[in-house]
Amino acid sequence: MIHVLHVVGARPNFIKAAPVLRALASRKGVRQTLVHTGQHYDVNMSDVFFRQLGMPAPDVSLGVGSGSHAAQTAAVLLGLEPVLLARRPDVVVVYGDVNSTMAAALAASKLRIPVAHVEAGLRSGDRAMPEELNRIITDAISDILFTPSPDGDANLLREGVSKNKIRFVGNVMIDTLIRLLPSARRPAEPKLDGRYVLVTLHRPANTDEPAALKTLMRALAAIAKLAPVVFPIHPRTRARLNKAGFKAPADGRLKLIEPLGYLEFLALQKDAALVVTDSGGIQEETTYLGVPCLTVRTTTERPVTITAGTNKLVRDYASLPREAAAALRRAKKIRRTPKRWDGKAGTRVASALLAWLGQRRAA
C-alpha cells in the first residue's frame, strides 16, 4: 500500500488538488490522507469548494487561520509535524505557491519524507511577491516537480534542478475547469443582461496601500461606465476597503459582491466580455476559455497566458480604463490552448508519482 498525504490550505489549492485526489482514488494499492491547514476558512473560501468539487472531507484540519507570514508558516510547521510523524506517509503532495505549500514542504522534507510539488517551476522574477519566495523554497526542497508548462521546466533547469526530478504534466487547474464547465451556473445576483466585466483583486501590492487601492477602485468605476463590473471581493480586499471607508458609486454599475463558489464564478468568467484580475489561476482559466484578461501586475509567473493566450499585463492603474476600452472593442483573440492543458494533468501526476515511488521502493 502506498500512502499519499496531500496538504491544502487556500482557495486555489482546492481546485488544483481535486483532480489529483480523484486520479489517485481510482488506483489500486493507494491510500490517501487529506490535510487542510485552515489558511482559508470562510465557508465561501473553503467549504464551498469541497462541496462543489466533490472532494473528500479533510482527514485532518490544522485550523491555522490568518496571521503574519511568520505566524502562518510557523503554525503550519507546528501543526503538521506531529501529523506526519504519526501517519508516516510515503510522500507529501503540495500545490501551488501559498504559505501552506511552502510550510508543508519544509515540515515534510525536514522529516525526510519525500515531497511532490504540483505546479512547480513557475517564476515571476519578483521576490517582493510572497508567492515567489514560496515557489523558490518549495521547488528547492521538493523531490519530484510537476510542471504545468515548459517554461517551468526551463526555470528549474536554470536553477540547477536535475532533469530527472521534473515531469511536465500540464495544468491541473484546467482539469477541474474542463470537468465542471458543464455544471457552471450563474449566481442569482447580480442580474446581468448583455456584456459585463468580471474583476478579482487580492494581491497585497494592489490592496494593502490605501491610496493605491483608492486609485484602483476609481479606475474600476471608470470601466463600469463602459460595461457593468462584477467584483466578487476577496476577504483581504474587503477588509482593506472597509478600513478605507470605500463606497461604490451610487449608479450601481460597480457591483461589489461576496466571493463566489467555483461553479458560479466559472459561469461568470466564461461569459465575461473582459476579466480584470491579479490572480494567478484566473490568468490561466481565461486563457483556456478565450476570454480577454487584463492582469493588474508588473510581472507574471505564467508567461504562456500572454504568448499563447488572452492575457495582457497592465502596469499602471491610470491606463486601466483605456486598456479595458480597447479590449472591449477588439474582436476575441484567437488563442492556442497551451500543451497538456487538456483535462488529463491529474492522471499524469498520479501515474508519474506512483511510477517514481515504485522505483524508489525498488532501489
Residue 208 or residue 251: which is nearer to ligand UD1 going by CB?
208
Q: What distance in Å separates the CA atoms of residue 288 and residue 228, rounded to the nearest whole number?
A: 23
Q: What distance in Å separates the CA atoms of residue 243 and residue 316, rounded to the nearest whole number?
A: 23
Pattern 101-140, binding to ligand UDP, x per CB under 6 A?
----------------------------------------
At 15, list the grid cell. 481546485
**At CA 310, angle to CA 171 and CA 132, rounded to 5?**
55
Considering only 131, 139, 284, 301, the residue that binds ligand UD1 (CB under 6 A) is 131
Of these partners, ligand UDP, ligand UD1, none, which one is at the site of residue 285 (CB under 5 to 8 Å by kind)? ligand UDP
Pattern 38-77, binding to ligand UD1, x per CB under 6 A?
-xxxx--x--------------------x-----------
For residues 134 and 108, is the Cβ–Cβ distance under 8 A? no
Nearest to 94 by CA among 180, 6, 161, 192: 6
Residue 261 or residue 321: which is nearer to ligand UDP going by CB?
261
Between helix 345-362 and helix 172-180 the angle, nearest 10°, is 140
Closest distance to ligand UDP from the beta carbon of 197 (Å): 14
C-alpha separations of 290 from 40, 52, 312, 333 in Å: 29, 23, 13, 7
Considering only 6, 11, 123, 344, the residue that binds ligand UDP (CB under 6 A) is 11
Query: In the annotation, is 6 catalytic?
Result: no
List helix spans (H) across the chain: 11-25, 47-52, 69-87, 99-110, 130-141, 150-158, 172-180, 204-207, 210-224, 235-244, 262-271, 280-289, 304-307, 320-329, 345-362
Residue 27 or residue 236: which is nearer to ligand UD1 going by CB?
236
172 φ, ψ (degrees, to nearest 5): -70, -30
Q: In sequence order, which residues have a C-beta less than 8 Å from that of residue 290 and are 6 or more positions away?
A: 310, 332, 333, 335
The per-residue b/e assignment along 167-185, b for 16 or more CB within 10 angstroms, e otherwise, is: bbbbbbbbbbbebbeeebe
Q: What distance in Å separates the CA atoms of residue 292 and residue 304, rounded to the nearest whole number?
A: 14
Pattern 223-242, binding to ligand UD1, x per CB under 6 A?
-----------xxx--x---
Secondary structure (3-state) at 225: coil
- Window 70-109: residues binding ligand UD1 (CB under 6 A): 97-99
- 4-12, 16-24, 143-151, 312-320 -> range binding ligand UD1 (CB under 6 A): 4-12
For residues 312 and 333, is the Cβ–Cβ distance under 8 A? no
- 11-19, 70-78, 79-87, 189-197 -> range binding ligand UDP (CB under 6 A): 11-19
Pattern 239-278, binding to ligand UD1, x per CB under 6 A?
x---------------------------------------
Residue 97 or residue 284: which is nearer to ligand UD1 going by CB?
97
- Window 194-213: residues binding ligand UDP (CB under 6 A): 200
Among 36, 40, 117, 202, the one annotated catalytic: 202
- 6-14, 54-62, 155-163, 297-305 -> range binding ligand UD1 (CB under 6 A): 6-14
Considering only 5, 7, 11, 293, the residue that binds ligand UD1 (CB under 6 A) is 11
Q: Which residues are identified as catalytic?
A: 202
Binding site for ligand UDP (CB under 6 A): 11-12, 15, 173, 200, 232, 259-260, 262, 265-266, 279-282, 285
Binding site for ligand UD1 (CB under 6 A): 10-12, 39-42, 45, 66, 97-99, 130-131, 202, 234-236, 239
